[in-house]
Amino acid sequence: MYNAKAFSAASATSPLASTTIARRDPTETDVQIEILFCGICHSDLHQVRNEWSGVMPTAYPCVPGHEIVGRVTKTGSAVTKFKVGDLAAVGCMVDSDGTCPECRDGLEQFCPNLTLTYNFPDKHTGGVTYGGYSDSVVVDQRFVPKVPTNLNLAGVAPLLCAGITTFSPLHHWGVTKGKKVGIVGLGGLGHMGVKFAHALGAHVVLFTTSPGKKDDAIRLGADEVVISKNADEMAKHAGSFDFILDAVSADHDINALLGLLRRDGNLCLVGAPEKPLSVAAFGLLFGRRSLSGSPIGGIAETQEMLDFCGKHNITADVEVIPIQKVNEAYERLLKSDVKYRFSIDMASLKTA
Ligand code: NAP
Ligand code: ZN
């Protein structure tokens, strides 16, 4: 084991603060990565504040962070995929059994023996996993995608969660040219959803509660912007969408969105609000509509997404912050006051 610097929360009501954690030395299939940037996902905030206590209660101290990009500093003797100095990334998962039907299909996100990057039992240390608000991390090479070398690294970090979480359902539900696609909420996930849906050739409509984000939405690739609290604007789109991706982090009216789907249309939730949402049956019955959900994506698809981003020069729009500003950033995230993802410059941890 070795000591790593990190930021952790001691309880659901404590701010994140500087700490030292123990990491394992690399095993033969592990890579050790010096973390350069880590994105701040709204899931980090839900988890740190124990808002998902019913599904995934938080173990403290909690070191969040699952949008990690960095450089390999050590490799185990059996590592073939990386050499020291290579760029490397880590997303929401760090291990799975590798043998179940889900893993064999390359869908590790559904493995019953999955290990998430933080707040999950750690098979190696016997404690819990610690995430990317840290100077380094040690992960099996199987869970470490390669990073295209032509992209800005601060903007690459968010691809590892916000990117794959939007890329995967857009692909799974066949978003292509000729489809009318809605993206709900222009936050970290939503702005990646707009970029990907646009790159896939769809007609993209962004639903927002923030009128001030209209111009940005168009710049990011939306063809139209609808203020979701304006019933008249919503009514113009009734019954017209093939697919809507909902990336909202808080309670909101999904029945208003179901009514915008055409026959056999699908509303897919990627947002994970603290409390259950209510669904009116008639919104589904009329039009034989579906309500679905999607978690992150598998490792092969994550690599595909990163390669797609390299080819199309896509990264997240980020505000780079030092780790000392992380608590302030959480408060701003709650006010939807970030364009459109915070990315922590981990060099700042050296002086924290
Ligand atoms: P975020 O950056 O905070 O974005 C959320 C957006 O939702 C906001 O920018 C805002 O957009 C909209 N919003 C916020 N409060 C709202 C309200 N009361 N009513 C309507 N709209 C509201 O968060 P994020 O990091 O993108 O994450 C979004 C959600 O996805 C979180 O719940 C997160 O935990 C979840 N998530 C799920 C997965 C998965 O695997 N499925 C992965 C990552 C994250 P506007 O200002 O445009 O209205
Ligand atoms: Zn996330």
Contact 285, 266 (CB under 8 A): no
Cβ burial, residue 127 (10 Å; 0-12/13-18/19+): exposed
Protein residue with least CA distance to atom 1, ligand 1: 187
Please write down the long-range contacts of 225-232, taking CB distance under 8 Å and 24 or more positions apart. Answer: 228/184, 228/252, 228/256
Cβ burial, residue 299 (10 Å; 0-12/13-18/19+): buried
In ligand 1, the atom with minimum distance to the C-alpha of 293 is: 41
CA–centroid distance, 101 to ligand 1, in Å, is 31
162-293 belongs to CATH 3.40.50.720: yes
Look at the block and give the residue holding tokens 């380094």: 136
What residue ranges in the chain does DSSP mark as E strands?
A: 2-9, 16-23, 30-40, 68-75, 87-90, 93-95, 115-116, 136-140, 180-184, 203-208, 224-227, 241-246, 261-269, 290-293, 318-322, 341-345
Look at the block and give the residue holding tokens 């897919």: 268
In ligand 1, the atom with minimum distance to the C-alpha of 213 is: 47
In ligand 1, the atom with minimum distance to the C-alpha of 248 is: 7
Rg (CA), the chain: 20
Q: Given ligand 1 and candidates 244, 246, 249, which is best to mutate, with the most ligand atoms within 8 Å of its CB?
A: 249
Nearest ligand for residue 55 CA = 1
Cβ burial, residue 335 (10 Å; 0-12/13-18/19+): exposed
Domain-by-domain residue ranges, the chain?
Answer: 2-161+297-351, 162-293
In ligand 1, the atom with minimum distance to the C-alpha of 42 is: 25
Q: Ligand 1 in contact with 208 (CB < 6 A)?
A: yes
Nearest ligand for residue 186 CA = 1
Least Cα distance to 45 among 19, 18, 60, 65 occurs for 65
CA–centroid distance, 113 to ligand 1, in Å, is 27
CATH topology match: 2-161+297-351 vs 162-293 = no
Q: What is the dihedral of CA 256, 258, 259, 262, to 10 degrees?
A: 150
Nearest ligand for residue 342 CA = 1
Q: DSSP for 268-288, please give it.
A: EE----SSPPP--HHHHHTTT
pLDDT tens, residue order, the chain (352 aa): 999 999 999 999 999 999 999 999 999 999 999 999 999 999 999 999 999 999 999 999 999 999 999 999 999 999 999 999 999 999 999 999 999 999 999 999 999 999 999 999 999 999 999 999 999 999 999 999 999 999 999 999 999 999 999 999 999 999 999 999 999 999 999 999 999 999 999 999 999 999 999 999 999 999 999 999 999 999 999 999 999 999 999 999 999 999 999 999 999 999 999 999 999 999 999 999 999 999 999 999 999 999 999 999 999 999 999 999 999 999 999 999 999 999 999 999 999 8
2-161+297-351 belongs to CATH 3.90.180.10: yes
As a residue count, the chain comes to: 352
Residue 64 to residue 306: CA distance in whole angstroms = 22
Contact 325, 345 (CB under 8 A): no
Protein residue with least CA distance to atom 11, ligand 1: 185
CA–centroid distance, 318 to ligand 1, in Å, is 16
Q: Ligand 1 in contact with 292 (CB < 6 A)?
A: no
